[in-house]
Structure 1
Amino acid sequence: MDKFDVIIVGAGPTGIFAAYELVRNRPSLNICLVELGNLIKNRERHEVMSGVGGAGTFSDGKLHYTPVLSHEKMFHLYQPHEYQKYLDAVELIFTQFGVHAEYYPRNMEEAKTLADNAKKKGIKLFIRKAQHVGSDKLPAVIKNFEDFLISKNVTIKDKTEVVDVLVQDKTVQGVRLSNGQNLYASKVILAPGRIRAHWLQQLSEKLGLAYTYEKVEIGVRVEFAEAVLKKHAELMYETIFMMRTPTFDDVVRTFCPCPKGYVAAEQYDDFVCVNGHSNSDNNTENSNFAFVSEVSLTEPVENTIAYAKSIAKLATTIGGGKPILQRLTDLQKGRRSTWDRIDKSFVIPSLRDVTPGDISMALPHRIVTNITEGLEMLDQVLPGINSGHTLLYAPEIKLRSSKIQTDKNLQTEIKGLYVAGDGAGVSGNITGAAVTGLISAEGILNTL
């Protein structure tokens, strides 16, 4: 019988940091880390969403250490100053495992001046302490974590799917694998990541765990001349702008900016989205960022995840299985883009495996209006962003998982069962996911 002290489902940042914290404090623990994808040494570049390191492994490797934006997902359990202590611990651990990237902003006073100028235009510019590791260097850092855990006798079962959780008398007993095998443990952390957020929601329903739907963000990936973002990028690297649009008074924002980066497709089970990537030594002529509109639903439909996925599936259908690409000027003129029109743009698309088309055929009118109005507003602080040459890729969707009800240690109503990371709705980036790994591990250690 496969019996362990702790089973961790998912070897993304949450699972890795949870395993690290457990073996650091209790080296004798028998820990099993179960991962849907490959070990990092066997992971291919197209395996974006699963594998040791999680979805962040082949991202551009931004690490954030200021408790704002997606870190606020844990503020129902922790005050910002409490949460900051965990962020500081994550920063130290990343340093120990090989992250030595430059910190941003490079000059805090200059960053504050930019933020003040944006505020005068009705736009909020977030200032965050951050590092840019790079898509080329982050896998090596993850490999260091993987090697460490293996050296501490953590069992890593890669290419293994967990399909169910074993529960008796409201107490966790272990997990069931897709091959019918059972793994047993009195402590289980579920951290399956965004790719299996829907599975975790279904499991919650089956187990009777309470959860709430979070807002989702739907929009496009904007690609433009590198010069447009150059001043901000050199100072801050990551510039996150937020504003409210005039027509609908909706929140739109940028996220995941990739200075001198490139746009990439992100394949899910039955739809395709876009994302951005950048290496540590970026040298392309373009920059890009996500530009999205927040969507919250109330009665009678609350399932924001299903809503966002339905839009992604429609866009994928219209794009013939590929993302849709459109020049901003074509969108503004109400016409579809063609390769002839796109090739007239001064901005050369970094992702060519796309279908030129009309984004307004795929995204709801309200979201398209928010995007066009938001770009007009942004042009006041980023002159040139609203140029007709700017390229838009759709869909860019940030799924925010259902938030499962837990205690402060992320333990559910089922004794010994913890949920953490993006898939559980309590994080939204690499460092946030890592924090929830530390918190869930700490909760387990306090019971031993």
Structure 2
Amino acid sequence: MLQLPVLREQTDLVVAGLQKKNYKNAAAEVAALLDLDQRRRQVQSEHDELQARANSLSKEIGVLMKSGEREKAEAFKAETTQLKQQAKGLAEQLTTLETELQEALYRLPNLPHESVPAGRSAEDNEVVLEHGDLPLLPEDAQPHWELIQKYDIVDFELGNKITGAGFPVYKRQGARLQRALINFFLDEAIKAGYAEVQPPILVNEASGYGTGQLPDKDGQMYLAKEDNLYLIPTAEVPITNIYRDVIVPVEQLPIKNAGHTPCFRREAGSWGADVRGLNRLHQFDKVEIVQITLPENSYEALEEMSSYIQGLLQKLELPYRVLRLCGGDMSFTSALTYDMEVYSAAQGRWLEVSSASNFETYQANRLKLRYKNESGKTQLLHTLNGSALALPRIVAAILENNQTADGINMPKVLHPYLGFEKIS
């Protein structure tokens, strides 16, 4: 959530940032929000003045009664009663205005970092680097949705029977590959200094607001209506909310957590070549890394996270590229995002497998996640997260890029986790 002092003092900068994110009616919405803030502050001032006057009169009433000036005391009592009634009415107005202001702030996305390129869609993203040679496959190479059927390792029809489209059943070597990747990613995260946590996969409304999924992604999350709990779209939500309403001792920073969870997303989209097979699912597994840092260290931490994720892709022997997302393709909450994409040889296209983002103070302001500086003043921390990694498209690329006439070779780094070297 954007901070009100920033909106008041750097209005032009805020409007320009929102416009870079292609936020509609940015200038008008910011102006309306500031007008609402001004009305709230005016009502607060009037309320405080009335309350102060009532408190002052209350003190004088006792003195007047002791000195025998009963008539004047009774007049002060009547005035005090009237002042308190007026203050009560203003307090009700203030509550309404504060609710409206909070909702207006929730609707504004984070501002992009100055390095974020302008643009409207994925076509405008900036390629930062490419790594690895693109594999050359024979003409009869198959996409992963045909390979998984050939080797009977993922069953979409069975998942559709049990639940619905977008909920596959992993079987035999397919299930073992899932488990191997999860364990590999977690082990690598621990080696890199991340503390493993296993959070709940249902979160309450406050957690959704804390990390910015609500209200922005309300319709894209699965909701258990009877209990008003949401199935998580990513482990970022419960892991980051561990630190909601926390003042973190400076000596504990940076905080580095990693966790594996299933992820649930309603927005699987229409079926077609770009979302076929494992390319887009309603339920999938992911290992997430989260960092909480001092503001001055957050962009160094983002580069560290990007390098770490790239290291995983290198160990899996997958060609990849890194993109810096443009303003129009960034998430609601992010200030700067790097996307990592692996090349799928059989599909002949790049598949996003990870995003690493710096949210600066946007989530921390919602979460009230702070630290005390050297002078003892509380300040907001910065939060970051990254997928390290999401499994479905990693599996798709491994299957497609390593297919041979007699099976699918597995990356060497996974052999100790799998107990086999080839799917056949």
TM-score by length of 1: 0.22
Q: Say which structure is richer in strand.
A: 1
Greater Rg by CA = 2
Higher relative contact order (Cα pairs below 8 Å, separated by 6+ residues): 1
Q: Say which structure is richer in helix.
A: 2
